[in-house]
């Protein structure tokens, strides 16, 4: 079979991130002028397997949907197919709900905590522990421990998708844009299989 198939039962580390895909403005000059003010875009939310660099789960939303809304669906969907043992994410994903999702899954969080975070648990012991850890080690020490540098993997995935398959979506309707962005992700995964 494919190289790496036998690793399927091994726990994986996920990196969750989001990036905008711009909508192509080829064509109508007048429309172009008006739209530039609004600068519409579609957001691609991904969960990447740190080792294979493949996109394990993804969602496509309109550009105004906050990243954190898609954390749960991405992580839960990934956990259906893989044993997820650790999840990276930037400050956009720092909230109690997301930490509780990881707690339920028994996965270690590597989510950057917002600077002003309180150590009161407020129904989320996992996040409280993480806040204590940051306070104890200092932010830089915590970053080294969690190796948050791994988050650049998501950046590489986004730039590969955009470089190889184009950053612009050509479709006018959102439903078609979703399909188009989804195809980019699937093609990217195919490249990673080769």
The whole model's pTM is what? 0.84
Which residue shows structure tokens 């403005």? 25
Which residue shows structure tokens 């954390």? 71
Among 80, 81, 84, 83, residue whose Cα is nearest residue 16: 84
Q: Is the dihedral of CA 9, 88, 194, 190 positive or negative?
A: positive
Residues 27-37: b if buried by 16+ CB within 10 A, e if exposed: eeeeeeeeeee
Among 82, 86, 84, residue whose Cα is nearest residue 9: 82
Q: What is the pLDDT of residue 168?
A: 79
Q: What is the pLDDT of residue 75?
A: 98
Average pLDDT over residues 121-145: 89
Reported as a pLDDT band with limits 50, 70 and 90, residue 124 is very high
Could you report the per-residue pLDDT of 25-63, keeping only the tens digit for each?
A: 665 555 555 555 555 688 999 999 999 999 999 999 999
């Amino acid at each position: 079979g494919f190289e790496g198939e036998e690793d399927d039962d091994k726990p994986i580390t996920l990196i969750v991130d989001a990036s905008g895909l711009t909508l192509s403005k080829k064509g109508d000059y007048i429309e172009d002028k008006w739209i530039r003010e609004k600068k519409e875009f579609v957001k691609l939310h991904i969960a990447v397997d740190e080792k294979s660099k493949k996109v394990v789960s993804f969602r496509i939303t309109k550009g105004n949907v906050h990243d954190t809304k898609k954390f749960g669906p991405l992580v839960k969907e990934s956990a259906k197919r893989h044993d997820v043992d650790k999840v990276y994410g930037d400050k956009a994903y720092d909230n109690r709900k997301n930490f509780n999702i990881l707690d339920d899954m028994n996965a270690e969080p590597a989510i950057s905590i917002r600077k002003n975070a309180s150590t009161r648990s407020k129904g989320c012991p996992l996040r409280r522990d993480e806040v204590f850890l940051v306070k104890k080690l200092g932010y830089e020490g915590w970053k080294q421990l969690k190796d948050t540098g791994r988050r650049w993997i998501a950046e590489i995935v986004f730039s590969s998708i955009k470089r190889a398959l184009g950053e612009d979506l050509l479709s006018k309707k959102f439903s078609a844009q979703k399909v188009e962005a989804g195809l980019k992700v699937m093609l990217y995964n195919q490249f990673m299989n080769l």
